[in-house]
C-alpha cells in the first residue's frame, strides 16, 4: 500500500493589517484531504526564493487554486488591466514557472479557475480580461452580494469533448457547472487539448498533451461541495489516484 500523497497547494498573498500573509482557501484543502486522499502542503508565493527542483522532489501532486486576483497581463502581452483590478505579482512569479516545471517532472497537476488561466499563460496562451464585455459571450461572473451557496450554484451547461481526459474518467457528454470568473481563455496555448466548452464556446477545461501524468485545468470550481456532485468528485478522485501512483513510485 502506498503512503498518503503530499499535495502542494498554491498560496496567494494578502495583506492583513500591517503584515503580508500567504493564504490558501479551506475548500481546496478539504477536497484534497477528503476526496483526493492527500495531505495538503501550502506552497508560499515566494517566487525565485522557492527551490523548485527540491520542492517537486517532495510533492506527489500540485493544485493551483482560484483567487480574487488575476494574472498580470504583461505575462501574456495583454493590455493593461482596468483600474482596480486585483493582482498578485508574488503568486505570478511562483506559479507560472512552477506549472511547467511540475508537469515536466511528472507531478500531477490540477489547475482551478485562476490556476486554469495560469496554466494557459505558462504554456504561451492569452486571456480575455472581461469575457462579459465581448459580443457573443455569456456573463460568467457570479451574482454579487449573494450567499456563497448561490454564487457557487450550477449556472450553465458544459459540453465535454469526446476522447479526452474528462471523458476518460467517466464524465458524460454534458454536465452542469458553477461559474465564478470574469476572465477566460482567448488563445489556447500550444500543447493544450480542449476538454470542455461552455455553451458560448468559451474553453472551460483543457489537458496537457503528451505528458506522463495527470495535467488538467478547469475554469469552474469542482472543489465546492465536491462530495455531493458526482462529476466534481470524479475529477478529484482521478487526480488523487494519479498522486497516489506517484507516491508509490517515489
CB 206 within 8 A of CB 195: yes
- Please compute, for residue 119, the number of CA atoms within 13 A of its CA located in the half-sphere on the CB side: 34
**In the β-sheet with 39-43, what is the strand arrangement from edge to edge?**
39-43, 6-10, 61-64, 109-112, 215-218, 203-208, 192-197, 156-160, 174-177
DSSP assignment letter at 194: E
Q: How far apart are CA 121 and CA 42, in angstroms?
A: 22
Q: How far apart are CA 92 and CA 171, in angstroms?
A: 31
> Beta strand 174-177 with 12-16: parallel, antiparallel or unpaired?
unpaired
Catalytic residues: 113, 221, 223
Q: How far apart are CA 43 and CA 11, in angstroms?
A: 6
Amino acid at each position: 500500500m502506498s503512503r498518503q500523497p503530499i499535495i502542494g497547494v498554491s498560496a496567494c498573498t494578502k495583506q492583513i493589517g500591517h503584515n503580508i500573509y500567504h493564504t490558501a482557501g479551506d475548500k481546496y484543502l478539504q477536497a484534497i484531504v477528503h476526496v483526493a486522499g492527500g495531505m495538503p502542503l501550502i506552497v508560499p508565493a515566494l517566487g525565485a526564493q522557492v527551490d523548485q527542483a527540491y520542492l517537486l522532489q517532495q510533492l506527489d501532486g500540485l493544485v493551483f487554486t482560484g483567487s480574487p486576483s488575476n494574472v498580470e497581463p504583461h505575462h501574456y502581452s495583454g493590455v493593461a488591466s482596468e483600474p482596480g483590478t486585483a493582482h498578485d505579482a508574488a503568486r505570478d512569479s511562483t506559479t507560472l514557472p512552477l506549472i511547467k516545471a511540475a508537469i515536466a517532472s511528472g507531478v500531477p497537476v490540477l489547475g482551478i479557475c485562476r490556476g486554469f488561466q495560469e496554466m494557459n499563460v505558462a504554456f504561451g496562451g492569452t486571456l480575455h480580461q472581461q469575457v462579459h464585455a465581448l459580443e457573443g459571450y455569456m456573463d460568467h461572473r457570479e451574482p454579487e452580494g449573494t450567499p456563497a451557496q448561490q454564487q457557487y450554484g450550477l449556472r450553465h451547461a458544459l459540453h465535454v469533448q469526446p476522447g479526452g481526459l474528462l471523458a476518460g474518467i467517466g464524465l458524460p457528454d454534458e454536465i452542469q457547472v458553477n461559474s465564478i470568473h470574469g476572465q477566460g481563455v482567448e488563445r489556447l496555448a500550444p500543447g493544450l487539448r480542449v476538454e470542455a466548452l461552455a455553451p458560448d464556446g468559451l474553453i472551460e477545461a483543457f489537458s496537457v498533451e503528451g505528458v506522463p501524468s495527470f495535467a488538467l485545468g478547469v475554469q469552474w470550481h469542482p472543489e465546492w461541495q465536491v462530495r455531493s456532485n458526482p462529476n466534481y468528485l470524479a475529477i478529484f478522485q482521478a487526480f488523487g489516484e494519479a498522486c497516489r501512483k506517484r507516491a508509490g513510485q517515489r
